[in-house]
Structure 1
């Protein structure tokens, strides 16, 4: 049998090495994973050129995955810092890293990133186009855009955000909607500007078959970007967002037909009471393709704390159908994140993902929580640190205050509820004062 992509192999009944690895990681039968890949509800981004990859599955019935954004900008050109962020993301267990570099020649950085990273790698070729081609936006042609997609595919990028859904029909809906924030997608805004300046159709939509042919050749996944995602609460679930989503559903089916795996990208900023309905709407319109969301951020007024607003929305989204969370750092809307921001963003996204996995009752999702509860019941601090999502921070906090009472923490000391209950259940007395009546 001949196949070039994971979805083609799955349709032929073949258990690829990547399918077997995902099954092992997910505590699922390999045949169950294969069926999900075959029908498109599971995607395994695994470019044939990414030799260091440890494959992960994204989709229904699997653990919620998280993505870490990083990359060079015109105002922050420290490649060593960005590589340190990569190493931190890998160490902390992020399953995906997106290189969003948009300045200069990024090929060398991306080459090192793909060579090093066991996490899947994503890009947005539109961001790289101006630097890669050394052309201004207005002078670019459809062929130019396709050249950048092909270059990223050849380098080993596992999935690419392609903003193919913002076609002429979607733009008409956007213009009618009278948005408060207009377009906040960087790639979407660039394509919108190019279309308006040239009068042409979106090249990724007009030449979609050519895009799919490139991705198919290297088994790269298309992540269909949501150019019209809401950038504030007031723009969520409007005609622009839903109109583009309808186009994305059409493009999803075309990609599957061409033997290309699909991720679908979603909002954005959104009030809590709209999230569940949006997840179900996406699954319906996009035929249960894996859903990748940025947040959603549940309020617009917390710059400096948007990792929290994102984690709240992400947990709700992933417990209602989203499969893949893009982390948001405290620096969102303010600056390129530093290492501390990246750490905080990863932890917030991991909390959201794990909380959703528990709510979705995935196999083994509560095991670590149960081990933590057992360690706390025994007041076994080393075991607690081992189970903590961020062991270094947990230990640092615990050890930051000298303790008068062994095994307790500085919050309760001798009055620790667990200590008190353990003593009573073991037949001991609970004593707080010495024989002279001195009480600590």
Structure 2
């Protein structure tokens, strides 16, 4: 089968939970060859234990699951969503743009057909992993990631400190996040944080000149096969809404986006025409589809944009350059900064995490750790606190193009300014020579 993922000398196995016995956490069991020893002149084979490894391939590597891209992956978390009295299901989507696309009959052949009305927090209720952790609760997602991170260590007799209680405490402290939108039940919960396994993000996306929906879904599956822990859809071409639906419904890992990219497409690429209303509806549209985390460049402040003028390579972040131009054209603070609390209120209704984008990241080692970069970092520290005040999970996008002798300063400044929130670095890339300038 085209979309079946297979690995030699291993099999897909599932571990169950204790707090939630109906959890089935997938991982790979790898058979080791026996060790050959010599005793009294004779060869003996000593059987080695199986090795269990982290697996991001989801149902694609399970031979017992029938893969049908037109139906999507099994909705493994939906039973927990349905059993949560703090969550309700709507009758239909509510974003204006989403409804407009739905009414356009010319898109019928492109549309993912097997959709489900979106879920949302009930009125007056909090549903985020951060909120539940602060209340002392262990959610199914928390136990799931604890089992995943352990990779069967307890049964192999290996001591581990990663328990569901430890996961809960790290999330409550803001040192870890579980990006798990209630409208992406196909995703297997995973955790990002300094006290857990290192995670790798993969970027995909169409453009105005290349790639089809089929190719984007194939890229997503390929990423999951080779260990991509999260997936970002950075599409800027045609039919972004429909392409994203196909990706999410067939993706077993958390999906992230940069919403300002799609918002810009809605105004035909004219930065000056961007508004809070367009951006908010884009957030709502993507929340209802099931995007698990958003990169939001709310750290761009009007007062700091001029600091990049001293640089060799200027502002290289696409989101950063969009918002910097908007601030300068309108001579005011960005709507992302002004409406940040409104953004958090919206995201909390779906448990969407925020990746606070570093719009003033350096594009070359010449500009690393400069005044512009650290001015924005201080703003991100303010914003992460505001997100936490709304019970929204948050992590910080960090730079590349930071030479090795400046990494420590970069890390120390981030830890202090951003209160130990997870740091998601681009690499960390320590040179310009191999990849070229950003």
| TM-score over 0.5 for the pair | yes
Whether the 8 Å CA contact 1:121–1:158 is kept in 2: the answer is yes
- List gaps (5 residues or longer) in structure 2: 1-85, 87-124, 151-161
Structure with more helix by fraction: 1
Give the aligned partner of residue 80 of structure 2: none
* C-alpha distance in structure 2 between counterparts of 1:84 and 1:98, whole Å: 14
* RMSD over aligned Cα atoms: 1.6
Report the Cα offset of residue 192 of structure 1.
0.9
Q: Which range is displaced more, 274-283 or 165-174? A: 165-174
Please tell me whether Structure 1 or Structure 2 has the larger radius of gyration of its CA atoms. 1
Report the Cα offset of residue 67 of structure 1.
0.3
- Select which of 409, 421, 430 maps to 1:277: 409
* Cα offsets for 1:269-301 (capped at 9, x unmatched): 111111122112111110000010111322212
Matches within 5 A, 1:300-319: 300-303=432-435
Give the aligned partner of residue 197 of structure 1: 329
Give the aligned partner of residue 359 of structure 2: 227
Give the aligned partner of residue 35 of structure 1: 169
- Select which of 204, 209, 214 maps to 1:80: 214
Matches within 5 A, 1:219-368: 219-303=351-435
* C-alpha distance in structure 1 between counterparts of 2:377 and 2:267, whole Å: 30
Structure with more strand by fraction: 2
Whether the 8 Å CA contact 2:213–2:246 is kept in 1: the answer is no
Secondary structure of the corresponding residue to residue 218 of structure 1: coil
Whether the 8 Å CA contact 1:104–1:131 is kept in 2: the answer is no
* C-alpha distance in structure 1 between counterparts of 2:246 and 2:423, whole Å: 28
Give the aligned partner of residue 133 of structure 2: 10
Q: Which range is displaced more, 220-229 or 271-280? A: 271-280
Task: Tell me if 1:95 matches 2:218.
Answer: no
Report the Cα offset of residue 148 of structure 1.
1.2
TM-score by length of 2: 0.67
Change (3 A) 1:135 1:270: closer
Secondary structure of the corresponding residue to residue 250 of structure 1: helix
Task: Tell me if 1:116 matches 2:250.
Answer: yes
Whether the 8 Å CA contact 1:104–1:132 is kept in 2: the answer is no
TM-score by length of 1: 0.67
Secondary structure of the corresponding residue to residue 214 of structure 1: helix
Whether the 8 Å CA contact 2:302–2:328 is kept in 1: the answer is no
Task: Tell me if 1:71 matches 2:205.
Answer: yes
Runs of 4+ in 1 over 4 A off after TM superposition: none
* Cα offsets for 1:182-211 (capped at 9, x unmatched): 100001101111111122211100111111
- Select which of 159, 165, 177 maps to 2:299: 165
Give the aligned partner of residue 153 of structure 2: none
* C-alpha distance in structure 2 between counterparts of 1:20 and 1:192, whole Å: 41
Give the aligned partner of residue 129 of structure 1: 263
